[in-house]
Structures are given as structure tokens and as C-alpha cells.
Amino acid sequence: MRLGLLYSGGKDSTLAALLCAEFYDVTLVTGSFGITDDWQHARDAAESVGFEHERLDLEREVAEEAVDRLVADGFPRNAIQHVHEHALEQLAASGFDAIADGTRRDDRVPTVSRAQAQSLEDRHDVDYIAPLSGFGRGAVDRLVEAELDVTIGPSEEIRRADYEAELRALLAEQRGTDAIEEVFPAHDQTYVTGVR
Amino acid sequence: MRLGLLYSGGKDSTLAALLCAEFYDVTLVTGSFGITDDWQHARDAAESVGFEHERLDLEREVAEEAVDRLVADGFPRNAIQHVHEHALEQLAASGFDAIADGTRRDDRVPTVSRAQAQSLEDRHDVDYIAPLSGFGRGAVDRLVEAELDVTIGPSEEIRRADYEAELRALLAEQRGTDAIEEVFPAHDQTYVTGVR
């Protein structure tokens, strides 16, 4: 069975890929609005862990909506959730037998409720799988330590391809670079460079 | 890392074991009140899929409480949940680095909430993992078809080792065999006989 997994090049989606590979023919899929080329970082990470990779078209209009939301809210949670739901819809419509993402049990965002999962499955005749949703933060940290080679650093320096990179770019284009710091709190990100 | 997985010999806990085996040194663990020898069916299933197996002592008092609940409720849901929570407590206290069970996204019982999971982890310094909690019914059915050899039949005939077998025996001992049909609706069970 062919499974498409939303992939950022980060530790969570990489662990999710390793779990799914037990049962599925996994393709790592990275959404891109076409605003920047950051999706290519995820392609490179996918290559370093030995998986097939594809780029997934996201609609520019959704990025605009997300940036409006970022500015209105002053924090990224709802904007990221909006983009993630759009990415899952696009992925569900792209012909895989199953789709997946790297959401974890203890994540605040993005989240996919059981009702949202069943709705995706029913409307697109696809299985939606959240392989890490039964893993807490501590378990994920220990698995990353045991299984992956990663680079860790501030989110403005780490080359990865979650939605944040393109939303930051669009926000800077519309509101100037100072707006980024107002909306995105400083935090560390990880980028996967290989499997141990 | 050593992981103990609550194991009945059924399809869900067997799939959970295959997933966990990607990252952990897995031991399949079957709870038993000492009422019947049904736990041995799970030991045989564990052998057929190539995993280590251990028996886990459950307290007779909890079985008595569960049977009282069965009789009072007239349905098994709360009794099964009570026993499952006890089994997780016993397993969490038995020295593994991580513990797990076969609960799925669409299960009504047993369920383990995020708060219950975090409480188990904090009190016992152990990771609790629900590897199938991100898989829906359809995905599990398709994986069973692809990955496992199973026997399917009515729950009174299938040799497996979920809590139901011992609760049925205790209920029959206390209330007669007719009481079983009043409490447990007829349903099919699966028993795993190998990996494909």
C-alpha cells in the first residue's frame, strides 16, 4: 500500500516515516506555496534518511489567509493549524492509499481530531494515520536520541521546510521583517541529517 | 530500550507489537488473575509471531470488582476498562523502560486518555505508548489482511487471552453460565496464528 507522509525534514515526521515503513511503501511529501524554495531542505533530509520525496502544491490563497490570521492573532497557532488542514486535504486528494503526518500526543498544534480524521477518510476514500499520536514527548525525545542524527538551532537559522518558513517570508514581504519577531516566538528547531 | 506490551493474542496487540519492534526490544505481556489458564493462548500466539512473552499477575480483587460491575451494568464496557487500567498499573510497575497496549483510534473500550497516559508516565517514570492510537478501523483491517495470519470466530470459541475469558469464567462460577449471554453480546474475535 502506498502512503504519503507530510514531511518537514524535522524529527517528528522522520520518526513517523520510520514507523510507517514497517507496513507501507512510504513517500515523503512536502507542501509548498511556491513562495520560497524551502521545501528543498525537506527533499534533502528525505534523501539522507533514504525515502522517496515529492513536492505538494499548496494554494497561495491559503498562505495569504494564514498571514492575515498571524497578524490578527499575534501568535502562530491558528495559522499553522489552518495550513496543516489544507495540506492534508491536498494530500488526501493526490491518490495515495493512505496519508499520514507527524502529529504527536502532546502537540498543541497542529492537531487532527478523531472527527477530522474520519471526515478526511470518508470524503477521500483514504486511510489517515497519525503514527506518533500514541507517543508522548519523552518517548519521542528518547527515540530521536537513539535513532536519528539531527542538527538543532534557532528556528530562523535551521534549514527546514515546515510551513513556518514560507509564512515568515510572506509576512516579511507584506509587513517587514520586524513583524516576524512579533508573531513567532524564538524557539529551537531540529533538522534531520541521517538515521543512526 | 525494553518495552512491555499488553498482549491478548489478538490482531490489534500483534500489529502494535510489530510497530514497536521498529524501535524497541519488545516483550509481550499477558495479564492473568489466575482464574483460568487462558493467558497461555497469548503465549502461543506470541511464539507464532516470534516475540518474547511473560505472564503478568493481576489482582483477584480487581476481577471480583469487574464482575460486580458487569452484573450491575448488564454490559462489559466499564468492567473491561477497569481491568485494563489495573493491568497498565501493574505493567508500569514491573520495570520496563516503556509500556504499550493495542488501543486503536476508533476503540470505545478500553481507552487511555492523554491525562491518564501522562499520569502513568509521571508516577512510574516510564513511557506509555499507544502505537495504534493513530490508526482507524479501516487501516487496521487492511494491515491485518496484509500482514497477519488469523483465525476468526465467535468469542466463546476462539482461544485468546483478553480479560473477557477470565471474567466470563468468574461470572459463570458466581452466577451460572446463563449470566454470560446476558452480559456479553455475541461478537467475533480474532486470534493471530502467524506473520505473513
| pLDDT, tens only, B45-95 | 999 999 999 999 999 999 999 999 999 999 999 999 999 999 999 999 999
By C-alpha distance, the chain A residue nearest B112 is: A134
Contact B63, B167 (CB under 8 A): yes
Residue A52: is its pLDDT beyond 70? yes
B185 versus A89: which is more confidently predicted? A89
Is residue A3 less than 8 Å (CB to CB) from chain B? no
pLDDT at A160: 66
Contact B3, B38 (CB under 8 A): no
B22–A19 CB contact, under 8 Å = yes
B127–A133 CB contact, under 8 Å = no
B23 versus B188: which is more confidently predicted? B23
B177 versus A154: which is more confidently predicted? B177
Contact B58, B88 (CB under 8 A): no
Per-residue pLDDT tens over the stretch B98-152: 999 999 998 888 999 999 999 999 999 999 999 999 999 999 999 999 999 998 8
| Edge-to-edge strand list for the sheet holding A127-129 | A52-57, A25-32, A2-6, A98-100, A127-129
Burial of A178 (0-12, 13-18, 19+ CB in 10 A): exposed
Q: Which residue in B122, B184, B120 sits closest to B155, CA to CA?
A: B184
d(C-alpha B15, C-alpha B88), whole Å: 18
Q: What is the DSSP string of chain A?
A: -EEEEE--SSHHHHHHHHHHTTTSEEEEEEEE-SS-STHHHHHHHHHHTT-EEEEEE--HHHHHHHHHHHHHHSSSHHHHHHHHHHHHHHHHTTT-SEEE----TT-SSS---HHHHHHHHHHHT-EEE-TTTT--HHHHHHHHHHHEEEEEEETTTS---SHHHHHHHHHHHHH-THHHHHHS---EEEEEEEE-
The model's pTM? 0.92
B129 contacts in chain A (CB < 8 Å):
134-136, 139
Residue A161: is its pLDDT beyond 80? no
Cis, bond preceding A154 (omega within 30 deg of 0): no
pLDDT at A5: 98
Is residue A13 less than 8 Å (CB to CB) from chain B? no
Superfamily (CATH) of domain B2-195: HUPs (3.40.50.620)
Of A8-12, A189-193, B52-56, B192-196, the one with minimum mean pLDDT is: A189-193
Angle, in degrees to the nearest 10, between helices B137-147 and B11-20 = 80
Residue A151: is its pLDDT beyond 90? no
Q: Report how far apart, in Å, the C-alpha atoms of B93 and of each of A18, A185, B121 are.
A: 29, 39, 11
Average per-residue pLDDT for chain B: 93
pLDDT at B52: 98
Is residue A117 less than 8 Å (CB to CB) from chain B? yes
- In chain B, where are the structural domains located? 2-195
Sequence letter at residue B8 = S
Q: Phi first, then psi: what are they for B156, rounded to 5°?
A: -80, -10
pLDDT at B158: 66
Q: Which residue in A5, A6, A8 sits closest to A166, CA to CA?
A: A8
pLDDT at B25: 98
Per-residue pLDDT tens over the stretch A68-102: 999 999 999 999 999 999 999 999 999 999 999 99
pLDDT at A12: 94
Confidence class for position B163, pLDDT limits 50, 70, 90: confident
d(C-alpha B120, C-alpha B139), whole Å: 28
Residue A156: is its pLDDT beyond 90? no
Quote the DSSP letter at residue B35.
S
The three three-digit cell numbers of residue B108, written as one number: 470505545
Residue A155: is its pLDDT beyond 70? no
CB within 8 Å of B61: residues ≥ 6 apart: none
The three three-digit cell numbers of residue B55, written as one number: 505472564
A115 dihedral zone (left: phi>0; alpha: psi -120 to 50; beta): alpha
pLDDT at B160: 66
Residue of A127, A144, A147 to mutate, interface with B, max B Cβ within 10 Å? A127
Nearest CA-CA distance, residue A183 and chain B, Å: 29
Quote the DSSP letter at residue B98.
E
